[in-house]
Structure 1
Amino acid sequence: MRASAAINIAIMLAASAMQAHAHQAPSGWDYPFECCSGADCARIDAGAVREVSSGFVVTIAPGRHPMWPTERRDQLILDIPHQKARRSPDGFWHLCINDAGEFLCFYAPGGDS
Structure 2
Amino acid sequence: MRAIFIVLLCGLPATVFAHYAPSGWEYPSSCCSNLDCREVGQTAISERPQGYTVEATGEVVPYGDRRVRISPDGEYHWCSAAGKDYGKTICLFVPPRAY
Query: Same fold by TM (over 0.5)?
Result: yes
Is structure 2 residue 77 aligned with structure 1 residue 77?
Answer: no
Runs of 5+ unmatched residues, structure 2: 1-7
Tell me the CA shift for residue 38 of structure 1.
0.5
SS at match of 1:47: helix
Scaled by the length of structure 1, what TM-score is found?
0.67
Whole-angstrom CA distance in 2 between matches of 1:59 and 1:34:
23
After superposing on structure 2, the runs of 4+ consecutive aligned residues of structure 1 that deviate more than 2 Å are none
Whole-angstrom CA distance in 1 between matches of 2:15 and 2:59:
29
Scaled by the length of structure 2, what TM-score is found?
0.75
Residue in structure 2 matched with residue 24 of structure 1 by the alignment: 20
Match for residue 89 of structure 2 among 103, 106, 109: 103
* Structure 1 or 2: more helix by fraction: 1
Residue in structure 1 matched with residue 11 of structure 2 by the alignment: 13
Runs of 5+ unmatched residues, structure 1: 1-9, 61-75
RMSD: 2.0
Whole-angstrom CA distance in 2 between matches of 1:104 and 1:21:
18
Amino acid at match of 1:32: P
Match for residue 48 of structure 1 among 35, 44, 49: 44
Greater C-alpha radius of gyration: 1
Amino acid at match of 1:108: V
Identity over aligned residues, as a percent?
Answer: 35
Per-residue CA distance 1:67-99 (angstroms, 9 max, x = gap):
xxxxxxxxx222111113211000000000113
Match for residue 94 of structure 1 among 69, 77, 85: 77
Per-residue CA distance 1:33-76 (angstroms, 9 max, x = gap):
0000101000001011110112111112xxxxxxxxxxxxxxx2
Whole-angstrom CA distance in 1 between matches of 2:45 and 2:55:
7
